[in-house]
């Protein structure tokens, strides 16, 4: 295949701007606790982090939803918080609660982080997972690698946990602006190297998750969500010109408009707080969009799931679209509802 040959995989075609009669589909957190086979493999690994760092088992859980549902894409099984751990933060998960990390609040904390070159030592099992998947995935399935965006990762590193309003990160940004900017610069560089290494190992697309972008307003959004994404994408594209990149500035609202153009992303993932018709008009004009079914429909099912799925497919039918949820599928979701969603998309 030459560099200019048109892609054949449905996800790559959508990312190249092709409008398809049936949109390709995958789901955020498609390997997760709603699946009994995921829970069994996680138990075999011992805990969530041991699963992330066990290439054979991480590849196994990545493949489980592909076998069960035949999604068009597979997302590497890992977590955005492995990168802070590779930079030297302590990381652990409290069952039923979520992640915990050592905290960081000043220039000393930033200076104590490991150099970027050191991340690969901790993250090499992740690259090994990618290599296994590149070998074992069905040939029509696209392999997506990912990382957290600098702002979102910083919110966890600063607070040591998930926070409802990202207060500690906003506080450090105000009180220690130089240290905060140094942290963002370190994360921007390390994220670029991490994603590059995933592509070298076999990832075909990468996605940048900025789950807390919505708490950045106005000039802060530009400086801490848009600009880091732009820098990471520019650096990746300089090395890997054909690499398609999905950006997910979750809850960006009006700031979704022009985000792809400004950052160079090939696709913008859209959460479920914005309406599909609005997004088709204002965001899809710039290229491929991904999203935006509300995850609760996969818990509730019924006619609303089918109607909403069809409404989203129709709203985005005139441009390039990858069907997905607006955020990750939840542990309470009924696996049978995923079949119903796929039936509504594929007929
Ligand atoms: O999407 C996928 O299936 C790929 C794997 C993936 C996971 N986390 C696995 C996971 C991806 C892409 C992530 C990204 C991630 N991790 C984000 C960004 C996307 C988002 O959801 O906003 C964030 C903020 C994290 C950090 C994180 N990891 C939190 C806050 C939690 C606890 C909340 C929860 O859902 O349990 C996790 C744990 C986590 N990451 C689980 C999975 C499957 C559940 C852990 C378990 O099995 O016990």
Q: What is the pLDDT of residues 169-202, one digit of tens each?
A: 999 999 999 999 999 999 999 999 999 999 999 9
Q: How far apart (Å, rounded) are the C-alpha atoms in residues 97 and 113?
A: 26
State the sign of the Cα–Cα–Cα–Cα dihedral 7, 8, 14, 20. Answer: positive
- pLDDT score, position 4: 58
Query: What is the overall mean pLDDT for the chain?
Result: 97
pTM to 2 decimals?
0.97
Domain positions in the chain are 10-346
Q: Is the peptide bond before 292 cis (omega within 30 degrees of 0)?
A: yes
Task: Work out which ligand 1 atom sits closest to the CA atom of 33.
Answer: 47
- pLDDT score, position 3: 52
pLDDT (tens digit per residue) in 1-57:
445 577 899 999 999 999 999 999 999 999 999 999 999 999 999 999 999 999 999
The CATH architecture annotation of domain 10-346 reads Alpha-Beta Barrel (3.20)
User: Where does ligand 1 bind, in terms of residues with CB under 6 Å?
Assistant: 28-33, 42, 48, 75, 77, 79-81, 98-99, 146, 148, 162, 209, 211, 328
- pLDDT score, position 6: 79
- pLDDT score, position 7: 85
Tokens read off for 248: 């997910």
pLDDT (tens digit per residue) in 222-258:
999 999 999 999 999 999 999 999 999 999 999 999 9
Buried b (16+ CB within 10 A) or exposed e, 126-145: bbbbbbbbeeebeeebbbbb
Mutational test site, ligand 1, from 26, 29, 50, max ligand atoms within 8 Å of CB: 29
């Amino acid at each position: 295949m030459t560099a200019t040959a048109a892609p054949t995989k449905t996800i790559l075609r959508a990312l190249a701007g092709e409008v398809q009669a049936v949109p390709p589909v995958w789901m955020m957190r498609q390997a997760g606790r709603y699946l009994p086979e995921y829970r069994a493999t996680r138990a075999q690994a011992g805990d969530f982090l041991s699963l992330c760092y066990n290439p054979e088992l991480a590849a196994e859980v990545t493949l489980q939803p592909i076998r069960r549902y035949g999604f068009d894409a597979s997302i590497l099984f890992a977590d955005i918080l492995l990168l802070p751990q590779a930079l030297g933060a302590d990381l652990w998960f409290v069952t039923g609660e979520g992640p915990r990390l050592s905290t960081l609040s000043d220039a000393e904390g930033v200076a104590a982080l490991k150099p970027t070159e050191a991340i690969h030592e901790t993250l090499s099992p992740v690259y090994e997972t990618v290599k296994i998947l590149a070998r074992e995935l069905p040939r029509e399935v696209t392999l997506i690698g990912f990382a957290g965006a600098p702002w979102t990762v910083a919110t966890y590193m600063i607070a040591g946990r998930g926070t409802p309003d990202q207060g500690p990160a906003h506080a450090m940004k105000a009180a220690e602006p130089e240290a905060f900017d140094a942290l963002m610069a370190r994360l921007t560089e390390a994220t670029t190297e991490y994603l590059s290494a995933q592509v070298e190992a076999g990832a075909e697309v990468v996605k940048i998750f900025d789950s807390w972008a919505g708490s950045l307003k106005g000039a802060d959004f530009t400086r801490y969500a848009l600009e880091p994404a732009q820098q990471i994408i520019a650096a990746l594209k300089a090395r890997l010109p054909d690499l398609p990149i999905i950006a997910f500035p979750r809850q960006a609202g009006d700031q979704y408009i022009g985000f792809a153009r400004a950052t160079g992303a090939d696709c913008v993932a859209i959460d479920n707080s914005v309406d599909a018709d609005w997004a088709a008009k204002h965001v899809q004009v710039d290229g491929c969009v991904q999203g935006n079914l509300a995850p609760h429909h996969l818990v509730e099912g019924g006619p609303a799931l089918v109607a909403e799925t069809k409404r989203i497919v129709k709203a985005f039918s005139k441009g390039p679209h990858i069907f997905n949820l607006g955020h990750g599928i939840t542990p309470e979701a009924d696996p049978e509802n995923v079949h119903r969603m796929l039936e509504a998309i594929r007929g």
